[in-house]
């Protein structure tokens, strides 16, 4: 049996998405900037897709800018706002558990003379709203907080954060790559000025992202060149990918969210019974529907992942975006966990296509994997006693 439980890293492109994309590779393959009929068909598809994605956020079509990825959207948001508003201030606020695209953008901006405050989080990964209020100064121009953490599934209170930013006249950016279409987002209610999106987290194609930019936001264009994307991001648009992105937004329904949450809760209930294990992040409604992140003490997550892979089960350890980095997860470190147990973390992430039968298979296989690895681990309680 082969089971894919690494959907927070990427999802299978849905057949309906592939079918929607193919004509824009084979028939309607024109450049959306061209004025002939091939170009006109491409432009019509581009603008229709823009409108459909905007509707998912209760936004206006002209507020959606297409990018090459969620990471590019994060870079665009942070660097574009910072560079356009540096005469107003040089201070940015983010959290210690953000995606690497946000953290690395902040480091880059520090090299340009900007000051960055990295907020602490509590043991479940939540930002302290009082800390945020205290850190905002008259030099603060931007707050960037992710909606759902990609490793531990924590859903941040972005509506309350948005209120704080609005009260202080500060731009608010939300990385919603992991939450889009899984957690409701209404730009009219959360007071966000910028929202990063990614297609391949929702059964869309890789290499396509978007950035919601609220009308009136002072942001510098990210890619110089032609006049594409309202003159904010030059380059020929990836029309097939964008069409696929829009199609993917149609596929996830309310029952799919409930289904993934049921799988999540079933697995958590089972894992709670395994000795010396720990859930990372909150339970219930404050956790995204498709994420389970557990630490299994005394063993390495890489070893668990490898043995599960041999059993036909795909999971991840740490952040899949940094899987070649053996340093402890910055997210789990920010929770205050000691390094010696952080390396035993495994993330299980579901999609609408996963089944209870697949979870049952994991529950059958995993305890033996844990037992086998602990039997040979020099860090296990039994071996330490010996």
Residues recognised as catalytic: 321
Beta bridge partners of 4: 314
**Cβ neighbours of residue 41 under 8 Å, at least 6 residues apart?**
28, 30
What angle (nearest 5°) sits at the alpha carbon of residue 69, between those of residues 253 and 334? 85
Q: What are residue 246's phi and psi, to 5 degrees?
A: -65, -40
SS3 209: strand
Cα–Cα distance, 296 to 126 (Å, whole number): 22
**Cβ neighbours of residue 7 under 8 Å, at least 6 residues apart?**
201, 290, 349, 350, 351, 354
Among residues 182, 98, 93, the alpha carbon closest in space to that of 146 is found at 98
SS3 85: coil
Among residues 93, 218, 101, the alpha carbon closest in space to that of 165 is found at 93
With residues binned 3-state (H G I as helix, E B as strand, rest as coil), the percentages for the chain, rounded to 5, are 45, 15, 40
**Cβ neighbours of residue 150 under 8 Å, at least 6 residues apart?**
8, 99, 177, 178, 319, 321
Angle (deg, nearest 10), helices 356-376 and 301-310: 130
Q: What are residue 250's phi and psi, to 5 degrees?
A: -80, -15
């Amino acid at each position: 049996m082969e089971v894919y439980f690494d959907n927070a890293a990427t999802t299978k492109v849905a057949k309906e998405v592939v079918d929607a994309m193919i004509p824009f590779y084979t028939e309607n393959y024109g450049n959306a900037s061209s004025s002939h009929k091939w170009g006109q068909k491409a432009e019509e598809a581009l603008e229709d897709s823009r409108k459909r994605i905007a509707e998912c956020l209760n936004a206006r079509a002209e507020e959606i800018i297409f990018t090459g990825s969620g990471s590019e959207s994060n870079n665009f948001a942070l660097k574009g706002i910072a560079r356009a508003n540096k005469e107003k201030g040089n201070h940015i606020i983010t959290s210690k558990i953000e995606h690497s695209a946000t953290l690395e953008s902040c480091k880059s901006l520090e090299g340009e003379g900007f000051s960055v405050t990295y907020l602490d989080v509590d043991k479940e990964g939540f930002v302290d709203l009082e800390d945020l209020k205290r850190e905002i100064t008259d030099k603060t121009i931007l707050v960037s907080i992710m909606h759902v953490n990609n490793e531990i599934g924590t859903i941040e209170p972005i509506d309350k954060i948005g209120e704080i930013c609005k009260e202080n006249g500060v731009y608010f950016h939300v990385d919603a790559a992991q939450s889009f279409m899984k957690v409701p987002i209404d730009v009219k209610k959360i007071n966000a000025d910028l929202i990063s999106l990614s297609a391949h987290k929702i059964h869309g194609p890789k290499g396509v992202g978007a950035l919601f930019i609220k009308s009136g936001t002072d942001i510098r264009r990210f890619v110089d060149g032609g006049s594409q994307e309202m003159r904010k991001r030059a380059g020929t648009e990836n029309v097939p990918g964008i069409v696929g992105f829009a199609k993917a937004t149609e596929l996830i329904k309310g029952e799919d969210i409930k289904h993934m949450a049921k799988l999540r809760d079933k697995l958590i209930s089972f894992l709670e019974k395994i000795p010396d294990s720990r859930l990372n992040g909150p339970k219930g409604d404050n956790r995204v529907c498709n994420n389970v992140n557990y630490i299994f003490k005394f063993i390495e997550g890489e070893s668990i992942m490898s043995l599960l892979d041999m059993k036909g089960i795909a999971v991840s350890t740490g952040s899949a975006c940094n899987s070649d980095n053996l340093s402890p997860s910055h997210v789990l470190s920010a929770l205050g966990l000691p390094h010696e147990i952080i390396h035993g973390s495994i993330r299980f992430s579901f999609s609408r296509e996963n089944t209870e039968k697949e979870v049952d298979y994991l529950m059958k296989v995993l305890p033996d994997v844990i037992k086998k690895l602990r039997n040979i681990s020099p860090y296990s309680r039994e071996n330490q006693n010996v």
